[in-house]
Amino acid sequence: MKRIRKHLFLSITACLIILFGFTAWAFKQGLIPEGFLKYGSSKSRPELLEDYAQIVLRNCKTSAHSLGCYDSEIPKLMDPPYSITMEEAFEVTKIVQKKNPKYLYCHVLGHNISAKEERKDPGKWKDIIPRCPATMCNNGCVHGSVMARYQSETLNDAQINKLIPELKTVCEPRKSWNPVPIERNMCIHALGHLSIYVTNADIRKSVEMCDKITANHKDSLDCKQGVFMSLYQPLDPDDLALVKYKTPKAEDVASFCDKYKYDSEAWSACRRESWPLFYGELQKPEGAVKFCSYSDDPQEKKLCYNHVLHIVTILFLIREGDPTRLSQFCNKIPKPFDGLCYGSAAIRLVQIDPQLTNKAINTCKIPVDQQLQNYCFKMLIGVSISYFHPESSKDKQFCNVFPDQWKDICHKVHSTKHNLSNYSEDPVFIELGNFYPQNQVIQ
């Protein structure tokens, strides 16, 4: 008996030594925040989240791609020993963004956080959607929760048909979720991603799924853009494996997309979503002009240039913080799309995060031509109605930062008593908004 007790004592002592040794090493490596040891449970949650953000910043400090590092490091905090909630992960993200404003575009992180949350209980994937922060990370959270549910499943035709009724309603308002238009839009877009998974990357079947899920042209286009985005922009190794050998080369995009000319929405989405294959060229205005030359239709060109501006805005105004580059770019975009250039950039900033509203307003002030400024402000005000609930505090705050001559117009357009068409002189307000409430525009 004494020998057993001795062995037990030695075993416990050895375990404690290993535990304390690991804890000391983890603390030295910054894996455990100082407050965790010093304050324990007495330290406030906001203080601990600040410490956790510092861990992420330290771990990514020496990374060659710090922004991509944040995408993977922040979700790790949802695991032990930290075990923060999904909502707290976004709070940590806000702290990181304050330290590194270049990280305001965090769409992939939104995917990763909600996908991790979905894996805790796949049966409750729809319950994650209402918990996603509106407008933050360009609504990547909504994307991730929808996509993660069927990411590893391929369904047969009978199973897909059984799934369709559920997908028809998942993006619609319900008791627990009253989405602003952009949230609903992003949800429908995510259904396009989902269709790629369940059809095993069968593009035609995925396009057909979008037609069955959606009830109008706008929603159908959003869904199909999700289909082709998955084809051209796989996010992880599983996605890469899924579309391997199916993504065309740059020189084959035209012939590849022409296979979908029987469906104008699919063809349009196929051409515009192919931009990753031309990323280098699109950083120059002549490259953008060439990329959008696939169609002579003015509306399609506007949609294409708007898409290009989504990309260059992140590069010029967020990553580089250089409005001069945007000005040089837009000045070489042919008329009548030069005004659209500034307007699309301003809209993109607010779409990424409303924190960038002042930067968006300053973007509208870049052109010397007053008509171009006016066009930009009209686009920014018109499209922004989709980012906030009418008459909400955020809605009013958004309008209050506009210059005096636009502030009243902003409040009127954002009011449910006014119709956006009263302030729209161009169909671009309908087509480029992407997120318009159906009751505020004339279709």
Strand stretches in 195-271, DSSP E: none
**Binning pLDDT at 50, 70 and 90, where does residue 423 land?**
very low
Question: Is pLDDT of 441 > 50?
Answer: no
- pTM metric for this prediction: 0.78
Domain for residue 426, yes or no? yes
Output 439 or 80, whichever has higher pLDDT: 80
Output 348 or 34, whichever has higher pLDDT: 348
Q: Per-residue b/e over 99-131, b at no fewer than 16 CB within 10 Å?
A: eeeebbbbbbbbbbbbbbbbeeeeeebbebbeb
Nearest residue to 145 via CA among 123, 169, 175, 164: 123
Question: pLDDT of 10-66, one tens digit each?
Answer: 555 555 455 555 444 444 454 455 444 433 456 788 899 999 999 999 999 989 888
Question: Is pLDDT of 215 > 60?
Answer: yes
Q: DSSP string spanning 116-161?
A: HHHHH-GGGHHHHGGGSPTTGGGGHHHHHHHHHHTTT----HHHHH
**Spatial distance between the Cα atoms of 395 and 384, rounded to a whole number of angstroms:** 9
261 and 347 housed in the same domain: no
289 and 260 housed in the same domain: no
**Binning pLDDT at 50, 70 and 90, where does residue 248 land?**
very high
Q: DSSP string spanning 321-371?
A: --HHHHHHHHTTSPTTSHHHHHHHHHHHHHHH-GGGHHHHHHHHT--SSHH
Q: Give me the pLDDT at residue 18, please.
A: 54
284 and 422 housed in the same domain: yes
Q: Give me the pLDDT at residue 410, please.
A: 86
Question: Is pLDDT of 7 > 90?
Answer: no
Query: Residues 301, 337: contact at Cβ < 8 Å?
Result: yes
**Binning pLDDT at 50, 70 and 90, where does residue 416 land?**
low
306 and 397 housed in the same domain: yes
339 and 404 housed in the same domain: yes
Domain for residue 52, yes or no? no
Domain for residue 265, yes or no? yes
Picking from 213, 238, 273, the residue at the C-terminal end of a domain is 273
**Binning pLDDT at 50, 70 and 90, where does residue 322 land?**
very high
Query: Residues 50, 96: contact at Cβ < 8 Å?
Result: no
**Spatial distance between the Cα atoms of 59 and 52, rounded to a whole number of angstroms:** 11
- Relative orientation angle of helices 45-60 and 86-99, to the nearest 10 degrees: 60
pLDDT average, residue stretch 339-364: 92
266 and 307 housed in the same domain: no
Domain for residue 84, yes or no? no
Q: How many domains does the chain have?
A: 2
Domain for residue 113, yes or no? no
Domain for residue 12, yes or no? no
**Binning pLDDT at 50, 70 and 90, where does residue 300 land?**
very high
Question: pLDDT of 176-188, one tens digit each?
Answer: 888 888 888 888 9
Q: Give me the pLDDT at residue 411, please.
A: 85
**Binning pLDDT at 50, 70 and 90, where does residue 346 land?**
very high
Domain that holds residue 234: 138-247+256-273
**Spatial distance between the Cα atoms of 304 and 323, rounded to a whole number of angstroms:** 21
Domain for residue 368, yes or no? yes
Could you write out the three-class secondary structure of 20-66?
Answer: HHHHHHHHHCCCCCHHHHHCHHHCCHHHHHHHHHHHHHHHHCCCCCH
**Binning pLDDT at 50, 70 and 90, where does residue 117 land?**
very high
Q: How many CA atoms lie within 13 A of 323 on its CB side?
A: 13
Provide the Cα torsion 6, 7, 13, 17; round to 10°. 150
> Distance of alpha carbon 408 from its chain centroid, rounded?
30
287 and 265 housed in the same domain: no
Lowest mean pLDDT, pick from 14-23, 79-88, 121-130: 14-23
Residues 6+ apart with CB under 8 A from 330: 285, 338, 341, 342, 345, 366, 367
204 and 307 housed in the same domain: no
DSSP 8-class letter at 300: H
pLDDT average, residue stretch 131-153: 79
Q: Give me the pLDDT at residue 42, please.
A: 61
318 and 351 housed in the same domain: yes
Tokens of 420: 């956006």
179 and 307 housed in the same domain: no
Domain for residue 45, yes or no? no
pLDDT average, residue stretch 143-155: 77
Q: Give me the pLDDT at residue 424, please.
A: 44
**Spatial distance between the Cα atoms of 157 and 378, rounded to a whole number of angstroms:** 46
SS3 174: strand
205 and 309 housed in the same domain: no
210 and 189 housed in the same domain: yes
